[in-house]
Amino acid sequence: MINFLHSNIQMKQIFYIAIVAGTLVQAGCTNKKNAVDPNQPNTNYKPAFTGQTRINKVKTVTPFTVERINEKLGRPWAIVPLPDGRLMVSDKSGFINIVSADGAVLKKITGLPPVDDSGQGGLLDLALDPEFATNKIIYWTFSEKYGQGNLTAVAKGELSEADGSIKNPVVIFRATPDLKSEAHYGSRLLFDKDGYLFVSAGERSILDGRKQAQWLNSGLGKVFRITKDGKPAPGNPFVNQADAKPEIYSYGHRNPQSLDINPVTGDLWEAEFGPRGGDELNLIKPGKNYGWPVITYGIEYDGRKIGDSIQQKEGMEQPVYYWDPVVSPSGMIFYTGDAIPEWKNNLFIGGLSSMQLIRLVIENNKVVGEESLLSDQKERIRDVTQLNGKLYAVSDGGILFRISKK
């Protein structure tokens, strides 16, 4: 089975799905007859409320500079600042680079468990233990060969820069069941204020996984909240529910590659890939159902409707915002720096197929403005972070960008 999904292609709208005998097969198609204009909406679906999509454009007034401070980072997926002002960058091939704030690669870290880096897989997100300054423990997600297929796994270990390795690596959590797929691993990691770890997992794109996004006894299409040892976090919404995975925090997700916590409200926000149309930004609440694949603002890649072709249903959450045409959202972060005051508490999201860094202005949990940055760079922006008032972003092309006030 070949899976070409829009989180790993340049223009997701020109790829199609054929469903034959209940099996999802995806094939590339670039001829003019079947091509879709990526700048045009894919549907005429109506938003549930004013401002849910295509909000007014805004423009940054403060002068800023964009620098390419490294153009040979290989296959980066995540970028995380270290307490001393350096950066950690994961490489899908299965190692980590320690990089200076000026872009120089200082150290290569190996010794992680083997990754399945076919398709969208590999070494994916990184997170520092809240006590990293003293224990040097890091966490990472990766696509792991498991059972008869593969899955999203979470591991931890001690970062040993002296010998360029990870000591005592151990897998602490797996988003089961395993499936034979190369796509939709999700894989974003984020610690909350109580020291528990949020983990996102995709539904693996194929029909056998898609339906499981609605199943509470499946780990596909979910956001989890776990302890540092991979156990269910206390207070999780389904801890005491029979036939439900107690690690689940929310469900009904497609391919969630974006997580961050709003610094003002403390709320968890998430962004995920829709199909052809309908990329979503969600405000995540414990125990809530975010609808995939029952409700969606997108359609199949071949143009057919999905399910009953509905966008709203009682008991299912609406996205705060959705995109059609799509942007293919990857890593995201709320800017908390003071260097560019008009960006304070704005949300920045990497765009893959859209080749941009998206800036969203959010007020009272609503998107009130949107800006496209880095679009002139023609790079698929995979992840973004902040350090000392500057934004740092990595692209699938191995570029490390630094964005700072002039």
Q: Which residues are catalytic?
A: 184
Detail the DSSP E strand segments found in 133-246. 137-146, 149-160, 165-174, 189-191, 197-201, 222-226
Contacts by 13-16 with C-beta closer than 8 Å and gap 24+? Answer: 13/37, 13/38, 13/42, 13/276, 13/301, 13/325, 13/326, 13/353, 14/38, 15/301, 16/300, 16/301, 16/302, 16/303
What is the per-residue DSSP string for 45-107?
Answer: PPPSSTTSBSPPB----S-EEEEEEES---SEEEEEE-TTS-EEEEETTTEEEEE-TTS-EEE
Q: What is the C-alpha to C-alpha distance for residues 405 and 192, in angstroms, rounded to an integer?
A: 29
Are the C-beta atoms of residues 289 and 25 closer than 8 Å to each other? no
At residue 395, what are phi and psi to the nearest 5 degrees? -120, 160
Q: What is the C-alpha to C-alpha distance for residues 31 and 319, in angstroms, rounded to an integer?
A: 33
Helix, coil or strand: residue 210: helix
